[in-house]
């Protein structure tokens, strides 16, 4: 009888461990994914970013339970109204590229943050490098 209860206890332990593993994997699959797309100037993306846009589009087409939140950024230089408009244009440009690749526009939200959410300057990098990093769009894919 004692042997049966030991096997039953072991079986319960294995079931609990498998359930915990499955829940952990499910939770990881539900975590948002973050991507950064860099721009040259205006709304012209860096050529290397095309592959990343393609990857994002493939994920969204394959998983219709995902939505994209796209936030455009600019640097603090210049007119804040113009920077706000440019950051919005960048976000809308990425949305347009995703829609062209088959993503439903209803699953994409765009925001222009201008310089409202700047990156901290790294003392080891020059000003030019810092301002290059501000020419970006952040894409967050999350489950809806």
Any idea which of 5-14, 22-31, 46-55 has the lowest mean pLDDT?
22-31
CA neighbor of 115 nearest in space, from 128, 90, 134: 134
- The structure's pTM equals 0.74
Percent of the chain predicted with pLDDT > 70 = 70
69: helix, strand or coil: strand
Q: Where are the domains of the chain?
A: 1-31, 32-143
The rounded distance, in Å, linking the Cα atoms of 85 and 70 is 14
* Phi, psi for 138 (deg, rounded to 5): -100, 125
pLDDT at 3: 60
* Phi, psi for 106 (deg, rounded to 5): -70, -15
Class of domain 32-143: alpha beta
């Amino acid at each position: 009888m004692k042997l049966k209860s030991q096997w039953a206890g072991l079986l319960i332990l294995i079931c609990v461990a498998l359930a915990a593993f499955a829940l952990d994997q499910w939770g990881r699959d539900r975590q948002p994914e973050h991507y950064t797309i860099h721009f040259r100037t205006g709304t012209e993306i860096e050529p290397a970013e095309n592959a990343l846009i393609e990857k994002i589009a493939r994920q969204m087409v394959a998983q219709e339970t995902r939505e994209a939140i796209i936030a455009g950024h600019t640097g603090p230089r210049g007119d804040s109204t113009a920077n706000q408009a440019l950051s919005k244009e960048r976000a809308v440009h990425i949305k347009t590229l995703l829609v062209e690749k088959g993503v439903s526009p209803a699953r994409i939200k765009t925001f222009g943050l201008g310089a409202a959410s700047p990156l901290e300057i790294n003392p080891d990098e020059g000003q030019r490098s810092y301002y290059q990093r501000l020419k970006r769009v952040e894409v967050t894919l999350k489950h809806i």
